[in-house]
Structure 1
Amino acid sequence: MSVAHDIYAETNPAFCAHALVAFTAAFISNNESGPEIPSTYLALPIALSGNLGHTFEGTNKKTGLLEWLNRRPEVQIELADLVNVSMDIVTEAIRFGCFSQLLAVNPGARLGLGSQKVKKSAVVALSAVPAQCIKRAERLGFWFASAGSTRTVFDMMGLTV
């Protein structure tokens, strides 16, 4: 029996909003101001990318963005293309997150956590691949917050804002 991998399910606004909540919560735990919205256009495509999933092996929240990039320079290959093709997905995730009150846009175009919480039963029900996407989004949240500004994150990754 072959198992089908449902790409659409992993790019739907609800799932992507859940990943952004994980990213934002991790970021806020290290930097209370929250992530600037442009950083989500970088974090979400990386977290969702099946091609980059293996690059997170052997890392944890203390690894840091620069160390990860030094270990895995292949992350930067075609990164701009990945970000560009996923812009609509990220925009819809932010909208869904805000409309469902999982996320909030705060002053300075920064994301914050909304008044609603992701249900624990939804998190537990995730299969291995989607659960890893959420874990990667969370890890990126820690790393981006530790790196400093959004400009610094983009510079480290070889991109311009």
Structure 2
Amino acid sequence: MKSWSERPEEVANLLNPAFCGEIIRRCIRKYYENTEVPFQYSLIFLILPIVLHRGTREKIQSSTRKQMHVWIQENQKVRIGFAARAKNLVPVTKETLAFLMQLKAIHINKDGSIKITKYKKTNLASHNDGEIADILKKAETIGKWFANAGTTSTIYTMWGVKP
């Protein structure tokens, strides 16, 4: 990863660990609201490439009752370029994980499962609408989809990538 001073301002703002961490935490929280199956470490690397990609995010309906595999079948174009996006966001995801672990906002168990922990966070009430609110809402939709989609390898296969 480039140092913060070397990153373009737009990239530094969008991909900062605090914002990406909130996206990941919301996804995991919604996941656990829908299942008791442990959230696996490798699923973390799919969240940001799905949610931060505008073209994909805009196709996701927050109120949808569709399962992820049905939605992907109806929106095959979202898989175009997904592998490259996922690969490019691995360093950002790792940086975000380190940030969340430093804050003790998540805990990675020995079996590779992830738990979120309670922590004091800033009130995001000023972001109840607009793009930030949309990103956070879609992260929750992804968490629900992951909870109901089957195994980690099944989810990776749906997106056309390998862990």
TM-score range, shorter chain: 0.7 to 0.9
Look up the match of 2:6.
none
Count of aligned pairs: 154
Look up the match of 1:125.
126
- Residue identity (%): 22
Structure 1 unaligned spans of 5+: none
**Is 1:11–2:12 an aligned residue pair?**
no
Alignment of 1:18-97 (within 5 A): 18-57=22-61, 59-60=62-63, 62-97=65-100
CA distance in 2: counterparts of 1:79 and 1:125, whole angstroms: 31
SS of structure 1 residue aligned to 2:54: coil
SS of structure 1 residue aligned to 2:55: coil
In the TM superposition, what whole-angstrom CA distance separates every residue of 1:109-156 from its partner, at most 9, and x where no partner exists?
Answer: 11111231534x2x2122611111111111111101101111010111
CA distance in 1: counterparts of 2:110 and 2:34, whole angstroms: 18
CA RMSD of aligned residues (A): 1.8
The code of the aligned residue for 2:63 comes to: N
Cα distance change on mapping 1:25 and 1:9 into 2, 3 Å: same
Structure 2 unaligned spans of 5+: 1-8
Does the aligned pair in 2 maintain the 1:98–1:114 contact within 8 Å? no
Look up the match of 2:159.
157
CA distance in 2: counterparts of 1:134 and 1:85, whole angstroms: 21
Look up the match of 1:144.
146
